[in-house]
Amino acid sequence: DAKTTQPTSMDCAEGRAANLPCNHSTISGNEYVYWYRQIHSQGPQYIIHGLKNNETNEMASLIITEDRKSSTLILPHATLRDTAVYYCIVRGGGTSYGKLTFGQGTILTVHP
């Protein structure tokens, strides 16, 4: 699976949009981009994933560049409860669904 690069930490004001970038320049054609987050002392929570089209769900939006070498997770109206470590993961298909390689992630701090 392709390696990802994320900033170590980011800050965001409550109510503003949080834009979390991820670089995955070695991504291959059949690999998806997944985002998970982990609130302190809890298990990771699935947020969203995509292949090449932009995706949106009730939690967030995922913007993938046309060359697929980078993506941005957008939390449109961040709240204090969105403070967490956000992981960008790239993985392919096959039978190992659910087998994920976690990087260091981005520590997002939402402040009042």
Partner 1 sequence: GAVVSQHPSWVICKSGTSVKIECRSLDFQATTMFWYRQFPKQSLMLMATSNEGSKATYEQGVEKDKFLINHASLTLSTLTVTSAHPEDSSFYICSARDPDGNTEAFFGQGTRLTVV
Residues that bind partner 1 (CB under 8 A): 32, 34, 38, 41-46, 49, 87, 93, 96-105
Q: How far is the CB of 87 from partner 1 (least distance, A)?
A: 8
> What is the closest distance, in whole angstroms, from the C-beta atom of residue 65 to partner 1 in the complex?
21
7 vs 44, beta carbon nearer partner 1? 44
54 vs 57 by CB, closer to partner 1: 57
Residue 82 phi/psi, 5-degree rounding, is -85, -5
Which is nearer to partner 1, 54 or 96 (by Cβ)? 96
Using the minimum distance from each CB to partner 1, give the nearer residue, 74 or 107.
Answer: 107
Alpha helices per DSSP H over the chain = none
Q: What residue type is assigned to position 9 of the chain?
A: S
In the complex, what is the shortest distance from the CB of residue 9 to partner 1, in angstroms, rounded to a whole number? 13
CB 58 within 8 A of CB 83: no
Q: Alpha-carbon distance 86 to 62, whole Å?
A: 13
Q: Which residues contact 98 (CB under 8 A, 6 or more apart)?
A: none
